Amino acid sequence: MPSTDAFDLSGRVALVTGGSRGIGLAIGAALAEAGARVALAARHEEEVQAAAAQLRAGGAEAQGFAANVSKAPDIEALVPAVEAAFGPIAILVNNAATNVHFGPLLDADDGMWLKMVETNLLSAVRLCRLVVPGMRARRSGKIINMASVAGIQPGVAQGVYGALKAALIQLTKSLAQELGPDNIQVNAIAPGLIETRFAQVLHQTPVIRQSVERATPLGRIGKPDEIAGAALYLASPASDFTTGAVLVVDGGMTLGSFAMPQ
Ligand SMILES: NC(=O)c1ccc[n+]([C@@H]2O[C@H](COP(=O)([O-])OP(=O)(O)OC[C@H]3O[C@@H](n4cnc5c(N)ncnc54)[C@H](OP(=O)(O)O)[C@@H]3O)[C@@H](O)[C@H]2O)c1
């Protein structure tokens, strides 16, 4: 059994993109509770500042940063701003994502693809380019990429989103290989359906929600806090021998055919 100290993040600096609400905010709260200094990044200044203030009200050291991760200049400004406020980034959580096309894959135009590539995939690469050199020099770092079960098996009307989550999973594995010798762990989390604004169209459409619940051995969809524990593990010394892993947190939905008795 690892000691509880294995989950202690005192003195570590974490950057969580998409940290103003939903899964990102739940992760920020969990990392802060474990002692990390937490930087939350999102596009809307007011919302991200309110999220950081919420963490500070609970005793955490947290700051909000307005940044659009689909824009290279925003990322180039974000990393030095976080490091100036808190010190070197030890934990990078690439969580921000968008889905601008819910429908048949071939109906998505190039503009939609490019927007999603920049936000959901290239942002992680750009952030890693800036954060990894410091991690390498310190021979220590944790990178967590927020994938999805849609990146493991296709989800209806989520072809573009799923292809990019699959790419993020492969990126995670390649980086894990390349950065392992520098003692940097790179892992992904693949959530199932989680009750957030992002997934509103899914969990607020009764027929979709019920079919997901029926296909899920645990019989329900998840809450953002239920992803935070997985992120805490992957951010902490408890996961020092874990790299290139995809931690599926989906209530068992992807295990195979399953239906709750009617
Ligand atoms: N909810 C689910 O069922 C589910 C399932 C599997 C995977 N995921 C993944 O979980 C992650 C978080 O999603 P969520 O469900 O927590 O969504 P959410 O509650 O809607 O939160 C999304 C966060 O990302 C930020 N964001 C969006 N676009 C951004 C951009 N271009 N630059 C910076 N920040 C941006 C949003 O703030 P602003 O709008 O202010 O920028 C917000 O903080 C995503 O990677 C998503 O693909 C979600």
pLDDT tier for residue 33 given thresholds of 50, 70 and 90: very high
Look at residue 262 and tell me if it is in a domain: no
Q: How much is the average pLDDT of 99-121? A: 98
pLDDT tier for residue 1 given thresholds of 50, 70 and 90: low
Distance in Å, CA 36 to ligand 1 centroid? 21
Q: What is the CATH number of the domain that holds 209?
A: 3.40.50.720
- Mutate which of 198, 213, 220, 248 for ligand 1 pocket (most atoms within 8 A of beta carbon): 198
Catalytic residues: 161
Burial 21-46 (b: 16+ CB within 10 A, else e): bbbbbbbbbbbbbbbbbbbbbbbeee
Q: How much is the average pLDDT of 157-183? A: 98
Look at residue 82 and tell me if it is in a domain: yes
Task: Say whether pLDDT at 48 is over 60.
Answer: yes
* 144, 247 Cβ separation under 8 angstroms: no
* 90, 13 Cβ separation under 8 angstroms: yes
Cβ of residue 24 lying under 6 Å from some atom of ligand 1: yes
For the chain, give the mean pLDDT: 96
Cβ of residue 203 lying under 6 Å from some atom of ligand 1: no
Cβ of residue 94 lying under 6 Å from some atom of ligand 1: no
Q: Quick one: tokens of 150?
A: 């849609």
Task: Say whether pLDDT at 261 is over 80.
Answer: no
Residue nearest to atom 22 of ligand 1 (CA): 18
The span from the CA of 32 to the CA of 10, in Å, is: 9
Distance in Å, CA 53 to ligand 1 centroid? 19
Query: Dihedrals φ, ψ of 134, to 5°?
Result: -65, -40
Q: How crowded is residue 258: how many other Cβ atoms within 10 Å of its Cβ? A: 13
Task: Say whether pLDDT at 13 is over 60.
Answer: yes
In sequence order, the 6+-apart residues with CB closer than 8 A to the CB of 106 are none
Distance in Å, CA 255 to ligand 1 centroid? 25
Q: Quick one: tokens of 250?
A: 């989906």
Cβ of residue 18 lying under 6 Å from some atom of ligand 1: yes
Task: Say whether pLDDT at 59 is over 70.
Answer: yes
* 246, 190 Cβ separation under 8 angstroms: yes
The reported pLDDT for the residue numbered 80 is 98
Cβ of residue 98 lying under 6 Å from some atom of ligand 1: yes
Look at residue 172 and tell me if it is in a domain: yes
Amino acid at position 73, single letter:
P
Per the structure, the count of domains in the chain is 1
Return the ∠ at Cα 148 (arms to 4 and 114), rounded to 5°.
130
The reported pLDDT for the residue numbered 3 is 66
Tell me the CA distances in angstroms from 13 to 31, 126, 186, one per residue in order. Answer: 9, 18, 16
* 143, 175 Cβ separation under 8 angstroms: yes
Domain around 138? 4-250
The reported pLDDT for the residue numbered 227 is 98
Residue nearest to atom 11 of ligand 1 (CA): 95
Look at residue 260 and tell me if it is in a domain: no
Distance in Å, CA 196 to ligand 1 centroid? 8
Q: What is the pLDDT of residues 186-230, one digit of tens each?
A: 999 999 999 999 999 999 999 999 999 999 999 999 999 999 999
Look at residue 113 and tell me if it is in a domain: yes
Q: Which atom of ligand 1 is nearest to the CA of 203?
A: 3
The reported pLDDT for the residue numbered 256 is 85
Positive or negative CA dihedral for 251, 255, 261, 262?
positive
* pLDDT over 90, % of the chain: 95
The reported pLDDT for the residue numbered 262 is 57
Look at residue 53 and tell me if it is in a domain: yes
Closest C-alpha among 235, 74, 262, 227 to residue 143: 235
Q: What is the pLDDT of residues 112-168, one digit of tens each?
A: 999 999 999 999 999 999 999 999 999 999 999 999 999 999 998 999 999 999 999
The reported pLDDT for the residue numbered 101 is 96
pLDDT tier for residue 257 given thresholds of 50, 70 and 90: confident
Cβ of residue 99 lying under 6 Å from some atom of ligand 1: no
Q: How much is the average pLDDT of 50-72? A: 98
Distance in Å, CA 120 to ligand 1 centroid? 10
Q: How crowded is residue 85: how many other Cβ atoms within 10 Å of its Cβ? A: 13
Look at residue 256 and tell me if it is in a domain: no
Look at residue 35 and tell me if it is in a domain: yes
pLDDT tier for residue 2 given thresholds of 50, 70 and 90: low
Q: Which atom of ligand 1 is nearest to the CA of 150?
A: 6
Task: Say whether pLDDT at 260 is over 90.
Answer: no
Distance in Å, CA 87 to ligand 1 centroid? 25
Residue nearest to atom 20 of ligand 1 (CA): 198
Q: Which atom of ligand 1 is nearest to the CA of 195?
A: 1
